[in-house]
Amino acid sequence: ESPLQLYKPLVAECQTTLAWARRTHRWGKEMPHIPTLGKAISNCDVLQAAQSMVLITFLVQDHIYWLLKVGILKFTNYTPIQWHRRNLRFITLSHVLNFSLCVREVMQLKSKIQEAVAKGDEDAVKKAKAGIYDNKRMMVRYVLTFIQMLHVSQVKQLDDRYIGFMGMISSYIDASKQWTPTPVLVQPTPSVALPSEKAAGA
Protein backbone atom coordinates (compact mmCIF):
# COMPACT_ATOMS: atom_id res chain seq x y z
CA GLU A 1 0.00 0.00 0.00
CA SER A 2 1.31 3.41 -0.98
CA PRO A 3 2.26 5.78 1.88
CA LEU A 4 0.29 8.46 0.03
CA GLN A 5 -2.93 6.64 0.95
CA LEU A 6 -2.62 8.19 4.42
CA TYR A 7 -3.20 11.63 2.91
CA LYS A 8 -6.14 10.59 0.70
CA PRO A 9 -8.89 11.65 3.17
CA LEU A 10 -7.19 15.00 3.76
CA VAL A 11 -6.77 15.65 0.04
CA ALA A 12 -10.40 14.67 -0.61
CA GLU A 13 -11.63 17.02 2.12
CA CYS A 14 -9.50 19.88 0.77
CA GLN A 15 -10.75 19.25 -2.76
CA THR A 16 -14.38 19.21 -1.61
CA THR A 17 -13.97 22.41 0.41
CA LEU A 18 -12.40 24.26 -2.51
CA ALA A 19 -15.11 22.99 -4.87
CA TRP A 20 -17.89 24.25 -2.60
CA ALA A 21 -16.15 27.59 -2.14
CA ARG A 22 -15.98 27.97 -5.93
CA ARG A 23 -19.60 26.91 -6.30
CA THR A 24 -20.75 29.34 -3.59
CA HIS A 25 -19.19 32.26 -5.48
CA ARG A 26 -20.47 31.07 -8.86
CA TRP A 27 -23.84 32.84 -8.60
CA GLY A 28 -24.37 35.17 -11.55
CA LYS A 29 -21.70 33.51 -13.69
CA GLU A 30 -24.30 32.76 -16.34
CA MET A 31 -25.10 36.44 -16.88
CA PRO A 32 -22.17 37.27 -19.24
CA HIS A 33 -23.18 34.37 -21.50
CA ILE A 34 -26.75 35.64 -22.08
CA PRO A 35 -25.70 38.49 -24.45
CA THR A 36 -23.49 36.01 -26.31
CA LEU A 37 -26.50 33.73 -26.72
CA GLY A 38 -28.65 36.60 -27.98
CA LYS A 39 -26.00 37.67 -30.48
CA ALA A 40 -25.55 34.09 -31.72
CA ILE A 41 -29.30 33.69 -32.23
CA SER A 42 -29.54 37.00 -34.11
CA ASN A 43 -26.62 35.93 -36.35
CA CYS A 44 -28.13 32.44 -36.87
CA ASP A 45 -24.95 30.97 -35.38
CA VAL A 46 -26.30 27.59 -34.34
CA LEU A 47 -23.02 26.26 -32.93
CA GLN A 48 -22.35 29.26 -30.69
CA ALA A 49 -25.98 29.43 -29.60
CA ALA A 50 -25.96 25.74 -28.62
CA GLN A 51 -22.74 26.16 -26.65
CA SER A 52 -24.08 29.20 -24.77
CA MET A 53 -27.40 27.49 -24.00
CA VAL A 54 -25.70 24.37 -22.66
CA LEU A 55 -23.31 26.40 -20.52
CA ILE A 56 -26.08 28.58 -19.10
CA THR A 57 -28.12 25.46 -18.34
CA PHE A 58 -25.17 23.91 -16.54
CA LEU A 59 -24.59 27.00 -14.40
CA VAL A 60 -28.28 27.32 -13.45
CA GLN A 61 -28.44 23.63 -12.52
CA ASP A 62 -25.21 24.06 -10.56
CA HIS A 63 -27.00 26.69 -8.46
CA ILE A 64 -29.81 24.19 -7.89
CA TYR A 65 -27.21 21.64 -6.73
CA TRP A 66 -25.95 24.19 -4.21
CA LEU A 67 -29.51 24.78 -2.96
CA LEU A 68 -30.03 21.01 -2.65
CA LYS A 69 -26.79 20.58 -0.75
CA VAL A 70 -27.55 23.26 1.83
CA GLY A 71 -31.12 21.96 2.25
CA ILE A 72 -33.05 24.89 0.78
CA LEU A 73 -34.45 22.67 -1.99
CA LYS A 74 -35.40 18.99 -1.88
CA PHE A 75 -36.17 16.69 -4.81
CA THR A 76 -37.82 13.31 -4.34
CA ASN A 77 -36.25 11.80 -7.47
CA TYR A 78 -32.71 13.10 -7.02
CA THR A 79 -30.21 13.25 -4.20
CA PRO A 80 -27.78 16.20 -4.39
CA ILE A 81 -24.96 14.03 -5.75
CA GLN A 82 -27.26 12.39 -8.33
CA TRP A 83 -28.33 15.85 -9.51
CA HIS A 84 -24.68 16.93 -9.69
CA ARG A 85 -23.63 13.93 -11.78
CA ARG A 86 -26.60 14.50 -14.06
CA ASN A 87 -25.56 18.13 -14.50
CA LEU A 88 -21.96 17.19 -15.30
CA ARG A 89 -23.21 15.63 -18.51
CA PHE A 90 -24.22 19.11 -19.67
CA ILE A 91 -20.70 20.45 -19.16
CA THR A 92 -19.38 17.36 -20.96
CA LEU A 93 -21.44 18.36 -23.99
CA SER A 94 -20.19 21.93 -23.58
CA HIS A 95 -16.60 20.72 -24.02
CA VAL A 96 -17.58 19.04 -27.30
CA LEU A 97 -19.18 22.26 -28.55
CA ASN A 98 -16.20 24.36 -27.43
CA PHE A 99 -13.88 22.01 -29.30
CA SER A 100 -16.02 22.47 -32.42
CA LEU A 101 -15.88 26.25 -32.03
CA CYS A 102 -12.09 26.09 -31.83
CA VAL A 103 -11.95 24.00 -35.02
CA ARG A 104 -14.11 26.58 -36.79
CA GLU A 105 -11.94 29.43 -35.51
CA VAL A 106 -8.76 27.70 -36.72
CA MET A 107 -10.25 27.28 -40.19
CA GLN A 108 -11.23 30.96 -40.29
CA LEU A 109 -7.77 32.05 -39.13
CA LYS A 110 -6.11 29.93 -41.82
CA SER A 111 -8.18 31.78 -44.41
CA LYS A 112 -7.07 35.09 -42.89
CA ILE A 113 -3.44 34.00 -43.15
CA GLN A 114 -3.84 33.38 -46.87
CA GLU A 115 -5.40 36.81 -47.32
CA ALA A 116 -2.72 38.49 -45.22
CA VAL A 117 0.07 36.75 -47.16
CA ALA A 118 -1.44 37.96 -50.43
CA LYS A 119 -1.49 41.52 -49.04
CA GLY A 120 1.98 41.21 -47.51
CA ASP A 121 0.67 42.03 -44.02
CA GLU A 122 3.19 40.29 -41.73
CA ASP A 123 1.57 41.57 -38.52
CA ALA A 124 -1.78 40.04 -39.50
CA VAL A 125 -0.04 36.74 -40.31
CA LYS A 126 1.67 36.67 -36.90
CA LYS A 127 -1.57 37.52 -35.12
CA ALA A 128 -3.47 34.79 -36.97
CA LYS A 129 -0.78 32.20 -36.25
CA ALA A 130 -0.85 33.12 -32.57
CA GLY A 131 -4.63 32.68 -32.61
CA ILE A 132 -4.30 29.25 -34.21
CA TYR A 133 -1.78 28.21 -31.57
CA ASP A 134 -4.05 29.35 -28.73
CA ASN A 135 -7.04 27.55 -30.22
CA LYS A 136 -5.08 24.31 -30.64
CA ARG A 137 -4.01 24.50 -26.99
CA MET A 138 -7.65 24.90 -25.99
CA MET A 139 -8.63 21.96 -28.19
CA VAL A 140 -6.21 19.79 -26.22
CA ARG A 141 -7.68 21.18 -23.02
CA TYR A 142 -11.26 20.36 -24.09
CA VAL A 143 -10.31 16.79 -25.00
CA LEU A 144 -8.75 16.31 -21.56
CA THR A 145 -11.67 17.87 -19.67
CA PHE A 146 -14.16 15.85 -21.74
CA ILE A 147 -12.48 12.64 -20.58
CA GLN A 148 -12.36 13.92 -17.00
CA MET A 149 -16.08 14.69 -17.03
CA LEU A 150 -16.90 11.23 -18.35
CA HIS A 151 -15.12 9.83 -15.29
CA VAL A 152 -16.48 12.28 -12.70
CA SER A 153 -20.07 11.92 -13.94
CA GLN A 154 -19.59 8.12 -13.82
CA VAL A 155 -20.52 7.71 -17.47
CA LYS A 156 -17.24 5.82 -17.84
CA GLN A 157 -15.05 4.70 -14.96
CA LEU A 158 -11.34 5.31 -15.61
CA ASP A 159 -8.16 5.14 -13.58
CA ASP A 160 -7.87 8.00 -11.07
CA ARG A 161 -4.17 8.38 -11.86
CA TYR A 162 -4.80 9.11 -15.52
CA ILE A 163 -7.64 11.50 -14.68
CA GLY A 164 -5.45 13.32 -12.15
CA PHE A 165 -2.64 13.68 -14.68
CA MET A 166 -5.08 15.04 -17.26
CA GLY A 167 -6.37 17.48 -14.67
CA MET A 168 -2.85 18.76 -14.05
CA ILE A 169 -2.32 19.39 -17.77
CA SER A 170 -5.68 21.13 -18.29
CA SER A 171 -5.10 23.25 -15.17
CA TYR A 172 -1.68 24.24 -16.49
CA ILE A 173 -3.24 25.34 -19.78
CA ASP A 174 -5.78 27.45 -17.88
CA ALA A 175 -3.20 28.95 -15.54
CA SER A 176 -0.72 29.70 -18.32
CA LYS A 177 -3.16 32.28 -19.72
CA GLN A 178 -2.35 34.41 -16.68
CA TRP A 179 1.39 34.20 -17.33
CA THR A 180 1.50 36.33 -20.48
CA PRO A 181 4.87 38.06 -20.33
CA THR A 182 4.75 41.82 -20.26
CA PRO A 183 7.57 43.89 -21.69
CA VAL A 184 9.91 45.25 -19.05
CA LEU A 185 10.94 48.81 -19.58
CA VAL A 186 14.67 49.17 -18.93
CA GLN A 187 15.36 52.46 -17.21
CA PRO A 188 18.44 54.24 -18.55
CA THR A 189 21.30 54.29 -16.10
CA PRO A 190 22.18 57.89 -15.20
CA SER A 191 25.71 58.78 -16.19
CA VAL A 192 27.97 59.46 -13.25
CA ALA A 193 31.19 61.35 -13.78
CA LEU A 194 34.31 59.56 -12.65
CA PRO A 195 36.64 61.33 -10.19
CA SER A 196 39.19 61.89 -12.96
CA GLU A 197 36.52 63.45 -15.18
CA LYS A 198 35.39 65.75 -12.36
CA ALA A 199 38.97 66.89 -11.82
CA ALA A 200 39.39 67.53 -15.55
CA GLY A 201 36.21 69.54 -15.63
CA ALA A 202 37.33 71.62 -12.72
Mean of pLDDT values over 168-185 = 75
pTM for the whole structure: 0.74
Q: What percent of the chain stands above pLDDT 90? A: 43
Q: What is the pLDDT of residues 67-91, one digit of tens each?
A: 888 788 888 888 888 888 888 888 8
Q: What is the pLDDT of residues 29-55, one digit of tens each?
A: 889 999 999 999 999 999 999 999 999
The pLDDT, as a whole number, for residue 1 is: 64
Mean of pLDDT values over 129-142 = 94
Q: What percent of the chain stands above pLDDT 70? A: 88
Mean of pLDDT values over 156-169 = 90
Mean of pLDDT values over 151-178 = 88
The pLDDT, as a whole number, for residue 114 is: 92
| DSSP-assigned letters across all residues of the chain | --GGGGGHHHHHHHHHHHHHHHHHTTTTTTTTHHHHHHHHHHTT-HHHHHHHHHHHHHHHHHHHHHHHHHTS---SS--HHHHHHHHHHHHHHHHHHHHHHHHHHHHHHHHHHHHHHHHT-HHHHHHHHHHHHHHHHHHHHHHHHHHHHHHHTTSS---HHHHHHHHHHHHHHHHHGGG---PPPPPPPPP---HHHHHHH-
pLDDT, averaged across the chain? 84
Res. 19: pLDDT tops 80: no
The pLDDT, as a whole number, for residue 72 is: 85
Per-residue pLDDT band for 201 (boundaries 50, 70, 90) equals very low
